Amino acid sequence: MTDQFNNQNGYGQPGQPIPPAQGYQQPGYQHSYTQPVVDAQNPRKTSSGRTFGTAFAGAALACVIAFGGFTVYQNVTGTPSGGNVTLGASTNTEIQAQSTDDTLPEAVAQKCLPSVAAIDVYTAQASTDMFGRSTSSSGTLTESSLGSGVVLSEDGYIITNNHVVAGADALKVTVGGEEYDADVVGTDESSDIAVIKLRNASGLTPVEIGDSDNLTIGEWVMSIGSPFGLEQSVATGIVSATSRSQIMSNSESSGSDGYGYGYGGSSSQSSGYTIYPNMIQTDAAINPGNSGGALVDSNGKLIGINTLITSYSGNYSGVGFAIPVNYAVNIAQQIIEGKTPTHAQLGVSLSTVNSQNAKRYGLKVDSGAYISAVNSGSGAAEAGLEEGDIVTKFDGNSVSSASDLMLDVRSKNPGDKVTLEVNRNGETKQIEVTLGSDESSQSAATQQNSSSSSSEMLNRLLNNSGSSSKNDAA
């Protein structure tokens, strides 16, 4: 599977997109960055090394960051997760500004800032022996990273990125000038969406939710969050592009950018993939700490959740990405209702076909997604797709790799009908498929286990000649 930036036009963006922020972390001594000076009347965030004992409310909660973690909030607090929760503001208001250059940023900021939260992530510190090996927890929680979130309901449901809260042992959230303890309601690692719930919150200001399906390239936007811990920060820009898609393995999205800032998940994340379909590209500044924050339009309506950047330094370089709000809120709604978030699934295992392995193994086309296994009972099986088929188009759009097909499928909803163009032994066929749901499998790894020994052998041959080193699933 390619690590390059993908879209339907084959655009290759320099640099690897990375989550900008699980957090901002205090730079190590080797880094020349100087901690930002904050207002003396509001000294929060002057250091991310604060510690406190387990007497802190919520310290005993070990947040489960996994597909099975949706019942954590209910089990710990005794409060049902879900119910009839209205997400977003119940009323819509239009912003009237004299000019974009004059009062529009002020009006949008005034409207939206009460709906954006700063999330402080605390983890238990492990004791080590003289050889640096972990022995046990010290019983102390230390602020390890931070991010941002967006208020979805008056009683404290907040959407953020999974990579912001992954591995958290406790959360502190600041919104509307007040600080709250918070619990993880649930996460969807494969789409990088998480929902947290503030304890004892009421009367918050939910964001107004916009429509990410009707964006215009060049339209004005504002990013809101806590870059480098400087909460309630705004930056303006435009929609640079839409329909930018990216697949990242969770091992690629964890670690450090080389400058002392962690930017990706934690050891609690699986070895699967995070799939970002149809993201919004913007030049509004997104930096470490902005992850999970808001991208809003000129009416102050939420159109995206800030998530990734492309950068050689790990910091803002003018190319950032937000998960479209229509997609993100759909996942959040499922989490709040106590459901397992579901995504469209074709029901196949895939390998990438390229000119090298096509020539070596006598394949009839030199690009596409090779079907190495078809899951029994899936939409692919019911439509008549077979092992050995090579998918070359998806609803009329060219498919040049397994990643392309995975992204195409994820951009749809369970139950959607799509038309695949496949090459079967040199003959081109049009096959209509009704996409299923990944609820039962939840990860590519589960699907890979269904591969037959013959498909594994062919996949290994293909991989040895330069295609993807994994048997991807869609």
Task: Please give the Cα distance from 219 to 441 (Å, whole number).
Answer: 39
Set 81, 212, 254, 291: catalytic member: 291
Task: Please give the Cα distance from 451 to 365 (Å, whole number).
Answer: 23
| H or E element in which residue 172 lies | strand 170-175
Residue 343 catalytic? no
Strand (E) positions, 254-381? 273-282, 294-296, 301-310, 320-324, 344-345, 348-353, 368-374
Set 148, 153, 163, 441: catalytic member: 163
Q: Computed from CA positions of residues 138, 141, 146, 151, in that sequence, does the dihedral angle turn out positive or negative?
A: positive
Task: Please give the Cα distance from 204 to 217 (Å, whole number).
Answer: 32
Residue 31 catalytic? no
Q: Are 372 and 402 in contact (CB under 8 A)?
A: no
Q: Is 381 exposed, middle or buried (0-12, 13-18, 19+ CB in 10 A)?
A: middle
3-state secondary structure 215-244: CCCCCEEEEEECHHHCCCEEEEEEEEEEEE
Of 463, 449, 271, residue with least CA distance to 375: 449
Return the amino acid letter for 38. V
Strand (E) positions, 88-162? 116-128, 134-151, 157-160
Contacts of 456 by beta carbon, 8 Å cutoff, 6+ apart? 372, 471
Q: Are 384 and 371 in contact (CB under 8 A)?
A: no
Set 181, 183, 192, 297: catalytic member: 192
| Residue 212 DSSP one-character state | G
Determine if residue 253 is left, alpha or beta; phi over 0 gives left, psi from -120 to 50 gives alpha, anything else beta: alpha
| H or E element in which residue 473 lies | strand 472-473
| Residue positions annotated with a catalytic role | 163, 192, 291
